[in-house]
Amino acid sequence: MRVLSGIQPTGRFHWGNYFGAIRQYIDLQQEHDGYYFIANLHALTTIRDSAQLQQLTRDAAIDLLALGLDPEKATLFIQSDVPEVSQLTWILMTGTPMGLLERCHAYKEKKARGVPADAGLFTYPVLMSADILAYDANWVPVGQDQVQHIEVCRDLATSFNHHFGEAFVLPEARVLDEAAKVPGTDGEKMSKSYDNIIGLFEDEKASRKKIMRIQTDSRPMEDPKDPETDHLFQLFRLMADGPAIEEMAALYRQGGFGYGHVKKAVAEVADAYFADARARRAEFENRPSTVDDILNAGAARARETAAAVLDRVESACGIKAPA
């Protein structure tokens, strides 16, 4: 099966990105043909600083490699390095009903909040569809909030196939593990939008400071507590091993501890969990040519696949004469 997913470089990756998505990308590469890209074209809807976008794109590539994405097992590339996707986007746009895009939640939510919605945001689902269809993807790992966009992709592909013949593979959404939703420093879902994140590769002292400031309830130390409803325990469980998790859960149930103890435990287990990734990241950062080689090779593989799909599509709809 071919698996495809993209991640926007709109900020440095945080714990929510890793446990909610990236870790599952890495698991999927073991048994499937993975195509993973850094969605810098999508990021243009929010980032207006060219130097910032270039740096965040570069950081995203290094971070993914450091976290375990293996270029020998998966294809890693930058979205804009495959111009065939932009060409395919226009072909899909000519058959996209306006009403379909007006119903998409990302556009509706921005509009409802009074945020200026440009044509890029409005047509975001079409570019996302081209991202998927250009590589004959079978599975697309997404959060529940992105399932609608996969449905749009299937609608556009089905419509094209109906009019011009079977040119597109119909992808399926693979919904990411909802249990992997990571609480932020305020207890809400970790998100850059909420300013409650803990960065994967930020300075360890800064990370510890954020952990020690995580909001907790005011129950007395002696009271027993339910670990399943506590966001500090949820963070600890993501990174600790089985015996440590059981020990911490027992401590919660018996009571007689302060949350400061748990915060220190979260900081320590996080340092250990990401230590190897930190070391790998330093190595990649010191070998920029290696990163360039990986991205160039990934783009070449991605372009070869996308070019074949585009040729098939252009032939089907009459832009190009069939071979």
Task: Say whether 205 is catalytic.
Answer: no
Asked if residue 66 lies in contact with residue 281, where contact means CB atoms within 8 angstroms, the answer is yes
Asked if residue 63 lies in contact with residue 285, where contact means CB atoms within 8 angstroms, the answer is no
User: Which one of 110, 111, 181, 264 is the catalytic residue?
Assistant: 110
Asked if residue 169 lies in contact with residue 190, where contact means CB atoms within 8 angstroms, the answer is no
What long-range pairs does 105-112 form, CB within 8 A, spacing at least 24? 105/145, 105/148, 106/149
Torsion of CA 64, 67, 72, 76, to 10 degrees: -10
Q: Which residues contact 15 (CB under 8 A, 6 or more apart)?
A: 182, 190, 197, 198, 200, 235, 238, 270
- Site of tokens 């207890």: 187
Nearest to 208 by CA among 274, 135, 133: 274
Task: Say whether 192 is catalytic.
Answer: yes
Tokens coding 237:
């469980």
Question: What type of residue sits at position 114?
Answer: G
CA-to-CA dists, residue 179 to 131, 144, 214, 238, angstroms: 27, 12, 20, 10
CA distance 186 to 181: 14
Task: Say whether 189 is catalytic.
Answer: yes
Q: Which residues contact 314 (CB under 8 A, 6 or more apart)?
A: 91, 320
Asked if residue 72 lies in contact with residue 59, where contact means CB atoms within 8 angstroms, the answer is no
User: Which one of 73, 111, 181, 189 is the catalytic residue?
Assistant: 189
Q: How many residues does the chain have?
A: 323
User: Which residues are catalytically annotated?
Assistant: 110, 189, 192
